[in-house]
Chain A
Amino acid sequence: MNPARGSLLGIEHLEAAEIMRILKFARRMNPDKPRTLLKGKRVLLLFYEASTRTRSSFEIAAKSLGAHTVLIQATGSSVEKGESLLDTGYTVRAVGADIIVIRHPNAGAPYVMAQHVDVPVINAGDGLHEHPSQALLDAYTILRNKKSFKGLQVAIVGDIFHSRVARSACHLLSKFGAKIILCGPAELAPEIAATLASGVRVTRHIEDALRGTDVIMLLRVQTERLAGLKIDLAEYIARYQMNPARLKMAKKDAIVMHPGPIIRGLELTSEVADGAQARILEEVRNGVPTRMAILARAIGRMR
């Protein structure tokens, strides 16, 4: 079965024009001015993995559009009793879900769901694969700070290998002709990452990544996903931590982004996190209108 219209499974196969449509619509969305686009609709939030920002943001977005939301978490539900992904999908469909938002530790889980359950499925992060709503809200944030993506240089620093945010960001920025530099140690930023999209290159040197850069995206070292990889955190900090001195290597008007959660003292210092160039909380704020647009699109009301 093909995924239902309105599904958002990833950025890779989304056309640039469709991305712009979502971003433009998101600009018209405002959680402080509730609308009724999703009135009477049921949005099922299926969270198989911990989340603060994405979950609350989707929930507020859905409610701001008049939808009912139901949150199902792996712990405290039948998932814990061994129910399969698809059986959970069939169940929430039977309960009356109009949209399924799913966060899952396994790459591709939303695809499997979308191929078997005939409601729009929104990927809220799947394993190491993609995090499309994050990429869209980051794009939204960039466009509020920079004129356009064209000619923009974006440095993504940190744990690229384990990052669905990085993969989605690369796909999105590449579609609009941005230059993307991935930076980190070989274990976290493998050379193969350059094959992800056109305009992507990999460097080990933070100076190389930052010189002339307009946007710095920092990533957390995902210690919970390292699976045996040995990363010397002290060395990581010495070579890659974003501090005020390094920030000066980038363009004067460069902005600092981070999908969160941030770990102060590891991938960035407090001066940077709280500094004038940081857009970390703005990203969180922008998550709501962006996800309002994503939800409206899911049921064909993004007009």
Chain B
Amino acid sequence: MTSSKNNHGSLLIKGGHLIDPAARIDGPMDVLLTSGRVAEIAPSNKIKGAADERLDARGLVVAPGFIDLHVHLREPGQAHKETIATGTAAAAAGGFTSVCTMPNTVPVVDSVEWIEWLRQPERGAVVNVFAIAAATRGSKGVMLSDFRALQTAGAIAVTDDGKPILDDNIMREALVLGGELNFPVVQHAEDTRLTENCSMHAGARSFRLGLRGMTAAAEASIVGRDVQLAMHIPNARLHVAHLSTADALKSVRRGKRAKVRVTCEVTPHHFALTDEDMRDYDSNYKMNPPLRSPSDREAILVAIADGTVDAIATDHAPHAAHEKEMEFERAAFGITGLETALGLAVTRLHREKRIPLSRIVELFTAGPARCFDLRGRGSLARGSVADVTVFDPKKKWTFEAAKSRSKSKNTPFDSWQMTGKVVATVVGGRIVYAG
């Protein structure tokens, strides 16, 4: 260490256009990061003194580090699909400085021991990993897990993702206890009694392909029930994962109007694709919830623009080739998404739908930070954690799945041309990815 004491481990991001919706900043600003924190934000060339490192951000957008509320890092137990090291490398390449990892691993992360295991340095994480713990023991939906202990150990929310909490009483108990602890309950909204053997959205397309379809009602009915439950439970916090239907959005709006603490995320694939895009039984178009109808996609675009949606989350779900290249109905659900999220958002939301970049940045930063109370993140206000994402909103590029940093290549976006590319990802003041 040869740097001066004042600027120990400092990085100056110079000449960029800062978009920090939480701090209401949208203009040319330099950002100085020191000792893992934001030390100063000031108009161009106003920051005096030397920094250890400089990052030239001319022509680029500088934003708070992106946060992904929904990723499957597959550890413990399924390292053939992804590891925390490879998954977070993909996250860094996609501009994400924090990811929230889902507990549907082998075994299910429902104990303090596994939360601690996830946080050990041996896992090789290159971005921040926040653990979401199982809401019920073994995610069996029968008995709540120990929310208090899990929260104390560092879990930021609970969910049985991959499956829903179906039982009304268990869901009520989860919301009650979550309300007492200020702990969000994340719901994978799917009435599995209505979706048995289903592999895509129920509609004209599924009928034509001879695939049993999941109805929009199977999602909407659970969201409707959950919002209804939350209305009558003090301080309950409900977060709807990967919301995909127009009808489910109606329930979220109803809850928000009634001042219920309900938040929701949508995925890039649900705003970019519809059930009509699947070709030739390509299982890279198979995920749960499935790609929905064009009218559902339209409703999601409206909700993104009008503020109903709180966050864009990828539901990054890596699977090995042999788990996907098979009969569509038997193939695993899920696609990777960390490296394509920004490109899809800029291309589909900003360039095609004219949604302002500041709104898109909000959906990747302040929005998700609020959903799970990630303090010190989601903004670059002085004193915040020095997590920064620098991207070029005009850069055209082509995504090549073969070059993905994820261990798995199951994506429908291979060879897609996109606009908007990550240039640098900074975690705790250190550059962890430079594109």
- Minimum distance in angstroms from A95 CB to a CB of chain B: 21
Residue B329 interfacial (CB < 8 Å)? yes
Q: Which residues of A contact B (CB under 8 A)?
A: 12, 84-86, 104, 106-109, 111-112, 115-116, 126-130, 161, 164, 167, 190, 192-193, 195-196, 227-228
Q: Which A residues are CB-close (under 8 A) to B162?
A: none
| CB-CB under 8 A for A106 and B208, given A111-B280, A111-B281, A227-B197 | no
| B203 and chain A: residue at smallest CB distance | A192
Picked from A108, A128, A193, A195, the residue with its CB within 8 Å of the CB of B281 is A108
Picked from A85, A104, A130, A195, the residue with its CB within 8 Å of the CB of B204 is A195
Picked from B196, B325, B329, the residue with its CB within 8 Å of the CB of A107 is B329
Residue B50 interfacial (CB < 8 Å)? no
Residue B254 interfacial (CB < 8 Å)? no
A167 to B203, CA, bound (A): 15
Contact A106 B330 (CB under 8 A): yes
Residue B211 interfacial (CB < 8 Å)? yes
Q: Pull 16 A–B residue pairs with CB atoms less than 8 Å apart, ordered by A.
A: A86-B326, A107-B211, A108-B209, A108-B211, A108-B280, A108-B281, A108-B329, A112-B326, A112-B327, A115-B280, A127-B211, A127-B329, A128-B210, A161-B207, A193-B207, A228-B196
Residue B399 interfacial (CB < 8 Å)? no
Residue B375 interfacial (CB < 8 Å)? no
Q: Which residues of B contact A (CB under 8 A)?
A: 196-197, 203-204, 207-212, 280-281, 322, 325-330
Contact B207 A107 (CB under 8 A): no
- Minimum distance in angstroms from A187 CB to a CB of chain B: 13
Q: Which 10 residue pairs across A and B have the least CB separation, nearest first?
A: A108-B281, A129-B210, A128-B210, A107-B210, A106-B327, A195-B204, A106-B329, A108-B328, A111-B281, A109-B327
A128 to B197, CA, bound (A): 12
Contact A85 B281 (CB under 8 A): no
Contact A129 B209 (CB under 8 A): yes
Contact A128 B211 (CB under 8 A): yes
| B280 and chain A: residue at smallest CB distance | A111
| CB-CB under 8 A for A86 and B203, given A106-B330, A164-B210, A167-B208 | no
Contact A227 B196 (CB under 8 A): yes
Residue of B196, B207, B326 with most partner-chain A CB within 10 A: B207
Q: Which B residues are CB-close (under 8 A) to A127?
A: 210-211, 329
7 further interface pairs, Cβ-Cβ under 8 Å (given A108-B211, A108-B329, A129-B211): A84-B322, A106-B328, A107-B281, A108-B210, A108-B281, A112-B326, A128-B211
Q: Which A residues are CB-close (under 8 A) to B207?
A: 161, 190, 192-193, 195-196
Q: Which B residues are CB-close (under 8 A) to A112?
A: 281, 325-328
Contact A227 B212 (CB under 8 A): yes
A215 to B80, CA, bound (A): 55
- Minimum distance in angstroms from A188 CB to a CB of chain B: 12
A186 to B212, CA, bound (A): 16
A302 to B367, CA, bound (A): 63
Q: Which B residues are CB-close (under 8 A) to A85?
A: 326-327
- Minimum distance in angstroms from B277 CB to a CB of chain A: 15
